[in-house]
Amino acid sequence: MSILDEIAWMDDALCSQIGGDIFYPERVDNSKEAQSVCALCPVRQQCLDYATRHDISWGVWGGIPQQRREQYYIPNSEMVEVMREVAHK
């Protein structure tokens, strides 16, 4: 899979249509607006999977802020399933 294939979902991401500042808050309690956008995003799961596969530790990806993703750190082989459970809480 090429890098372009891997990131093709980004074209459909709501965040790409509204700008990125709200997705990189300094504090997790400032991420509610970003999480609200993510909740409506048609590619939320692809976003979360991407962040997990690439160990992205900053910003809100797939509706989950960095601090929450860090709480659930486990080896990548198990991470996607755990993050899916967390995203649905």
Over the stretch 49-89, which tens digit does the pLDDT of each residue have?
Answer: 898 888 888 899 999 988 777 665 555 555 566 666 666 65
CB 38 within 8 A of CB 47: yes
Q: Mean of the pLDDT values across residues 5-33?
A: 88
Give the structural domain span for 66: 3-87
Q: Mean of the pLDDT values across residues 38-42?
A: 96
What's the predicted TM-score (pTM) here? 0.73
pLDDT of residue 66: 82
Domains of the chain: total: 1
Distance CA 42, CA 32 (A): 18
pLDDT of residue 28: 72
